[in-house]
Homo-oligomer: A and B are copies of this chain.
Amino acid sequence: MKQTLTQIHPMWENFPSVKKELQDVLLIIQDSLQANDKEVEKALLDMFRAGGKMLRPAFALIIGEFYPHDNSDLKHIAAAVEMLHTATLVHDDIIDDSPERRHAPSIQSRFGKDVAAYAGDYLFAATFKTLAYHTNDMTLVRQATSLLEAILTGELTQRTNHYDRHMTLASYKEQIAGKTAALFVLSAQLGAANGKAPESFMNLVSDFAYNVGMAFQILDDILDYQSTDRDLGKPTLQDVREGVYSAPLIIAMQNNNDIQALLKKREQITNEESLALRDMVVASGAVDDAIALASEYTNNALEQLDKLPEGEAKDTLVAISEALLERAN
Q: Which residues of A contact B (CB under 8 A)?
A: 34-37, 40, 88, 91, 94-95, 113-115, 117-122, 124-126, 128-129, 131-133, 136, 138, 141-142, 144-146, 148-149, 151-153, 155-157, 159-160
Contact = CB atoms under 8 A, between A and B. Distances in A.
B115 A113 contact: no
Most buried by B among A40, A121, A160: A121
Contacts of A145: 125, 128-129, 131-133
User: Which 4 A-B pairs rank lowest in CB-CB distance, beginning with the nearest?
Assistant: A95-B114, A129-B145, A37-B156, A122-B152
Contacts of A91: 117-118, 121
A153 B35 contact: yes
Contacts of A124: 121, 124
A117 B113 CA distance: 9
Contact of A160 (B37, B113, B117, B120): B37
A125 B156 CA distance: 13
Contacts of A118: 91, 95, 152, 155-156, 159
A84 to B, nearest CB: 10
A142 B157 CA distance: 31
A149 B126 contact: yes
Contacts of A113: 94-95, 113, 117
Contacts of A34: 153
A157 B94 contact: no
Given A36-B157, A114-B159, A132-B145, A120 B122 contact: no
A36 B159 CA distance: 10
Contacts of A133: 142, 145
A122 B156 contact: yes
Contacts of A131: 145
A131 B217 CA distance: 31
B120 A146 contact: no
A157 B37 contact: yes
A138 B94 CA distance: 34
15 contacts: A34-B153, A36-B156, A36-B160, A40-B159, A88-B121, A91-B118, A94-B94, A94-B113, A95-B114, A118-B159, A121-B121, A121-B124, A122-B152, A122-B156, A132-B144
A153 to B, nearest CB: 5
A43 to B, nearest CB: 11
A165 to B, nearest CB: 19
A113 to B, nearest CB: 5
A124 B141 CA distance: 14
B129 A146 contact: yes
